[in-house]
Structure 1
Amino acid sequence: MAGALVFGVLVLFAGRLTDGASVVTDFGAAARDGWARLLTVGLPAAPDGDLLLLPVLLVWLAAFSTAVLVVRAEAVLAPLLPPLLGYVVALLLVASRGRSLFVLTGLIAVVGLALAVVRAAQLPGRGRIAAVAVGLTEDGTGGPGAPGGAGAPGEADQAGSDGSAPTSRPGRGRSQSGPRSRSLAGAPSWRRPRAGQLAVGIPAVALMAALGTGLAVLSPIAEGNDRFDPRDHRHPPVDITSTLNPLVQVKSARGGAERKLFTVRLPSNDGKVVTDRIRTAVLTDFDGATWRDDSVFVRTGSVLGTDDTPVTTTGREIQMDVTAQAPGGPFLPTLGQPTGIRDATVSYAYQPSSGSLAATDPLRAGDRYVLTAQVPVADDPRLPDAGVARGTEIAPYLALPANIPDEITYAAADAVGTETTAFGKITSLTAYLNNSTMFPVDLDARPGHSLGALKRFLDPGGVKADHHGYVEQFVTAFVLLARIESLPSRIAVGYLLDGRTSSQAGEFTVTSRQAFAWPEVALEGIGWVAFDPTDISKLKDRLPPPDPDDPTGGDGAAQAPEAQAADAVVRPELDRSADLGATGGGSGASSLWWVLLLVLLVVAVAIPAGIVGEKARRRRRRARSGPPAARVAGAWREVRDRLAERGLARSLSLSADQVADLAAARRGPLVGDQLALLAPLVGTALFGATEPDDTDARRAWELTAAASRELRRSDGVRRWVTATLSPVPLLPRRRR
Structure 2
Amino acid sequence: MTRTVIAMRGAEVALAAAAVVATVPAYRDFFGSGGYLVPLTAAACAGALGALRAATLRWGTSATIVTGIAGFLTVTGAVILRGRELTSIGTGIANGWMRMLTTGLPADPTAELLILPALLVYAAGFGAVTVALRTRAVLAPVPFPLLSLLAALLLTAGHTEGAFPVAVAVLAPLAVLVLIRAVRRGGVTGRAYLADRARFGLPMVALVAVAGIAAAHAVPIGEKGRFDPRALIRAELTIEDTVTPLASVRSQLEETPPRELFTVRVTGAVLDRVRTAALDDYDGTLWTSADRFLTAGRTLPADSGPAPSTEVRLAVGITGLAGPHLPAAGWPRQVTAGRVGFCARSGVLAAEKADRPGLSYDLVAGVRPRDDAMRSAGPDLAAGARYRALPAALPDALITAADQLTEDAPTSFAKLEALERGLRAMPYTATARPGHTLERLGSLFADGPDRTTGYAEQYAATFAVLARSLDFPARVVTGYRLRPESLTAGVHTVRTRDAWAWAEVKIAGYGWVAFDPADPHNRRQPPPVDHTSSPAGSGTAPSAPEDPGVQARPRQPLADELAAVERLPLVLVILAILTAGLQAVVLAEKWRRRRDRRRGTPAQRIAGAWMQSTGRLRAAGLPIHRSWTAYETAEAARARFGEAASPVATLARLFAEACYGTRPPGPEPADEAWRADRALRAALRRERGLARTAGAWLSPASLWHRSG
TM-score (norm 1): 0.58
Residue 214 to residue 85, structure 1, CA distance change in 2 (3 Å): farther
2:146 to 84, 105, 109: 84
Query: Taking structure 1 as reference, are residues 529 and 204 closer, same or farther at Cα in structure 2, changes over 3 Å only?
Result: closer
Instruction: Please name the residue that 2:423 is paired with.
Output: 433
Q: Deviations over 1:65-112 (max 9, x none)?
A: 111222233233322210001100111112325846444445544553
Partner of 1:3: 71
Q: Using the alignment, how far apart are the partners of 1:318 and 1:10 within structure 2?
A: 38
Alignment of 1:416 with 2:406, yes or no, is: yes
1:445 paired residue number: 432
Whether the 8 Å CA contact 1:337–1:373 is kept in 2: the answer is yes
Task: Determine which of 119, 126, 129 is the counterpart of 1:67.
Answer: 129
- Check 1:9–1:209 CA distance in 2 against 1; reply closer, same or farther (3 A cut): same
Q: Which moved more, 1:358-367 or 1:106-115?
A: 106-115
| Contact 1:313–1:337 under 8 Å retained in 2 | no
Classify the secondary structure of the residue corresponding to 1:247: helix
For the 8 Å contact 1:102–1:213, the answer to whether it is kept is: no
Where do 1:609-624 residues align within 5 Å? none
**Aligned with 2:500 (options 516, 522, 536):** 516
State the 1:25 CA deviation. Answer: 3.3
Relative to total residues, which structure has the larger helix share, 1 or 2?
2
Quote the residue 1:380 is aligned against: 371
Contact (CA 8 Å) 1:118, 1:198: kept in 2 or not? no
User: Residue 113 of structure 1: which of 172, 175, 192 is its match?
Assistant: 175
1:105–1:213 contact (8 Å) kept in structure 2: no
Would you say how many aligned residue pairs link Structure 1 and Structure 2? 458
Which sections of structure 2, spanning at least 5 residues, go unmatched? 1-67, 529-708
Structure 1 position 58, deviation (Å): 0.7
Which region of structure 1 is more displaced relative to structure 2, 354-363 or 287-296?
Answer: 354-363
TM-aligned CA deviation for residue 126 of structure 1: 3.1
Give distance in 2, aligned partners of 1:198 and 1:534.
72
Match status 1:47 vs 2:109: yes
Q: 1:363–1:253: structure 2 CA closer, same or farther, 3 Å change rule?
A: farther
2: CA distance, partners of 1:363 / 1:72: 53
Aligned equivalents of 2:77, 2:405: Cα separation in 1:
64
1:329-361 Cα shifts (integer Å, max 9, x gaps): 2221111111221155xx432221111122213
AA paired with 2:512?
W
* Alignment check: 8 A CA contact 2:284 2:391 kept: yes
Q: Distance in 2 between matches of 1:364 and 1:203?
A: 59
- Please name the residue that 2:328 is paired with: 334
The one-letter code of the counterpart of 2:511 is G
Runs of 4+ more than 6 Å apart: none
Judging changes above 3 Å, is the alpha-carbon distance between structure 1 residues 127 and 280 closer, same or farther for their aligned structure 2 residues? closer
Question: Would the aligned equivalents of 1:43 and 1:96 in 2 still touch at CA under 8 Å?
Answer: no
1:360-403, Cα deviation, whole Å (9 max, x unpaired): 13455532111121122x34342221222232x43221111211
Q: 1:48 to 1:69 in 2, by over 3 A?
A: same
| Matched ranges for 1:480-491 at <5 A | 480-491=465-476
Post-superposition shift, 1:420?
4.3
- Report the counterpart of residue 287 of structure 1 in structure 2: 283
Helix, strand or coil for the counterpart of 1:44?
coil
SS in 2 for 1:516: strand
Q: C-alpha offsets along residues 283-335 of structure 1, whole Å, 9 cap, x if unaligned?
A: 010011110001211223323223xx565674122221111222522221111
- Which entry has the higher C-alpha Rg, 1 or 2? 1
Task: Give CA deviations for 1:487-508 in whole Å, capped at 9, x if unaligned.
Answer: 1111110000011121113x11
Give, in angstroms, the shift of residue 452 of structure 1.
1.2
Gaps in structure 1 of 5+ consecutive residues: 133-187, 547-736
Distance 1:513 1:363, change over 3 A: farther
SS in 2 for 1:476: helix
1:126 aligns with 2:116: no
RMSD of equivalent CA atoms:
2.9
Tell me what 2:381 maps to.
Answer: 390
The equivalent of 1:231 in structure 2 is 230
SS in 2 for 1:42: coil
Residue type of the partner of 2:388? L
In 2, Cα distance between equivalents of 1:98 and 1:408:
45
Q: What is aligned with 1:353?
A: 345
Deviations 1:450-483 (A, max 9, x none): 1111122123xx2356331111110111011111
Partners of 2:94 and 2:432 in 1: CA distance: 56
**Residues 254/115 of structure 1: CA separation in 2 closer, same or farther (3 Å cut):** same
Matches of residues 471-482 of structure 1 in structure 2 within 5 Å? 471-482=456-467
Deviations for 1:526-570, whole angstroms, at most 9, x for unmatched residues? 2211111111434xx5989x9xxxxxxxxxxxxxxxxxxxxxxxx
Residue 277, structure 1, aligned to residue 286, structure 2: no
Alignment of 1:635-646 (within 5 A): none
Q: Kindly provide the amino acid, as one letter, of the partner of residue 447 in structure 1.
A: P
Tell me if structure 2 keeps the 8 A contact 1:117–1:202.
Answer: no
Mean Cα deviation higher: 200-209 or 75-84: 200-209
Matched, 1:304 2:300: yes
Secondary structure at the aligned position of 2:364 is classed as strand
Q: Distance in 2 between matches of 1:314 and 1:464?
A: 49
Report matched runs for 1:250-261 at 5 Å. 250-257=249-256, 258-261=258-261
The alpha-carbon deviation at position 200 of structure 1 amounts to: 4.5
Residues 464/427 of structure 1: CA separation in 2 closer, same or farther (3 Å cut): farther
Higher relative CO (CA 8 A, sep ≥ 6), structure 1 or 2?
1
| 1:267 maps onto 2:254 in alignment | no
Where 1:206 maps in the other structure, the secondary structure is: helix
Alignment of 1:82-231 (within 5 A): 82-97=144-159, 99=161, 101-117=163-179, 120=182, 122-123=183-184, 125-126=186-187, 193-208=197-212, 210-211=214-215, 217-218=220-221, 222-224=222-224, 226-231=225-230
Change (3 A) 1:256 1:265: same
- Tell me the secondary structure at the aligned position of residue 78 of structure 1: coil
The separation in 2 between residues aligned to 1:422 and 1:104, in whole angstroms, is: 43
1:263–1:542 Cα change, 3 Å: farther
Judge conservation of contact 2:261–2:495 (CA < 8 Å) in 1.
Answer: yes
Matched, 1:496 2:495: no
Contact preservation (8 Å) 2:443, 2:450: no
Return the offset for 1:202. Answer: 3.3
Aligned to 2:316: 322
Going from structure 1 to structure 2, the CA distance change for 1:125 and 1:358 (only over 3 Å counts) comes to: closer
- Structure 1 distance, partners of 2:319, 2:208, is 69
Counterpart Cα distance in 2 of 1:384 and 1:233 = 41
Given that residues 123 and 190 in structure 1 are in contact (C-alpha distance below 8 angstroms), is that contact kept between their aligned partners in structure 2? no
Q: Contact conserved, 2:275 with 2:329, CA < 8 A, in 1? A: yes
CA distance in 1, matches of 2:259, 2:151: 51
Amino acid at match of 1:360: E
Provide the rounded CA distance (Å) in 1 between the counterparts of 2:233 and 2:397: 44
For residue 51 of structure 1, report the CA deviation from its aligned partner. 0.6
Are residues 489 and 336 of structure 1, via their aligned partners in 2, closer, same or farther at CA, if it must alter by over 3 Å? same
Using the alignment, how far apart are the partners of 1:319 and 1:192 within structure 2?
65
Structure 2 CA distance for partners of 1:3 and 1:204, relative to 1, 3 Å? closer
1:467 to 452, 456, 459: 452
- Compute the TM-score of the two structures, normalised by the length of structure 2: 0.60
Aligned AA (1:57)? L
Looking at structure 2, the residues matched to 465 and 440 of structure 1 have their Cα atoms a distance apart, in angstroms, of 15
How big is the shift at 1:241?
3.0
**1:386 counterpart letter in structure 2:** A
**Is the CA contact (8 Å cut-off) linking 1:110 and 1:206 kept in structure 2?**
no
Q: Which secondary structure does the structure 1 equivalent of 2:158 belong to?
A: coil
Q: Deviations over 1:425-450 (max 9, x none)?
A: 11111111122xxx211112111211
The residue type equivalent to 2:458 in the other structure is Q
